[in-house]
Amino acid sequence: MIREERETPFGWLVVASLQGEVDLGLLSPAERELTLPMGPRRIASFVGGRVALRRALDRVGAPATPLLATGRGGPTLPDGVTGSISHKDDVAVAVAARSVEGEHVGVDLETDAPLRVDIGRRVLREEEQARLAGLEPVARDRLVRETFAVKEAIYKAIDPVMKRYVAFQEVALELDGKGGALAILHLNEPAPAFSLEVAIESMRGPHGERMLLAFARARVTDRRRP
């Protein structure tokens, strides 16, 4: 099931394939209970995500504990570590790292293929749309998809602190075209101040398909902000 594992600036990344028969024996009893109401595809992604995250956590020396679900839908984690899961089609990815209080990572995986529907107006703030206005359609489409993936990773990184839905309009990105980006938060108050690091890269899926892999790390810099 494990296809790849490597260290990144955001922590240990593990990639798992969701192809083949699902082995529920890879889960702890408590984790298996969570799969009871799930359909086959959801079970496959759940198992793949937990297997990948457990391997990533092991790589950073975290204790082996059941990876259940928080009230917000993310995985529960041992103290002293941060982690995130994403899955798309036949692939699940997880990243884990040692952390200090107020620091969290997020990961997002998306198919790297032209959009069937233009989601630019939903995903982009006005200033982001203005920067893309002069691009050719193919280049604009790709940057919209990259923006979507990075923003999703950011949402996962700040969710353990925010504990609410964060809209696309609450984050602005300036992608540099080299895998990095400047991220600026416009969070609706009340909200703490964060520092952000983000990155995006390409990877291949199990069928050779191109995919986008986005990372984010968020650190709380001021909890006193109203």
Distant-in-sequence, close-in-space partners of 73: CB < 8 Å, separation ≥ 6: none
The whole-angstrom separation of Cα 211 and Cα 214 is 10
Contact (CB, 8 A) for 33 and 55: no
Distant-in-sequence, close-in-space partners of 29: CB < 8 Å, separation ≥ 6: none
| Average pLDDT of the residues in 132-148 | 93
At residue 101 the predicted structure's pLDDT band, cuts being 50, 70 and 90, is confident
Question: CA dihedral in degrees (93, 100, 152, 77; nearest 10)?
Answer: 50
The predicted structure's pLDDT at residue 170: 97
The predicted structure's pLDDT at residue 224: 65
pLDDT tens digit sequence for 26-74: 999 999 999 999 999 999 999 999 999 999 999 999 999 999 999 999 9
The predicted structure's pLDDT at residue 33: 97
Q: What are phi and psi of 205, to 5 degrees?
A: -80, 180
Q: Is the pLDDT of residue 5 over 90?
A: yes
Alpha-carbon distances of 30 from 27, 34, 65, 163, 175, rounded to whole Å: 8, 7, 10, 24, 41
Contact (CB, 8 A) for 93 and 101: no
Contact (CB, 8 A) for 166 and 187: yes
pLDDT tens digit sequence for 141-189: 999 999 999 999 999 999 999 999 999 999 999 998 888 889 999 999 8
The predicted structure's pLDDT at residue 113: 94
pLDDT tens digit sequence for 178-226: 888 899 999 998 899 999 999 999 999 988 899 999 999 999 998 765 4
**77: how many CB neighbours lie within 10 A of its CB?**
21
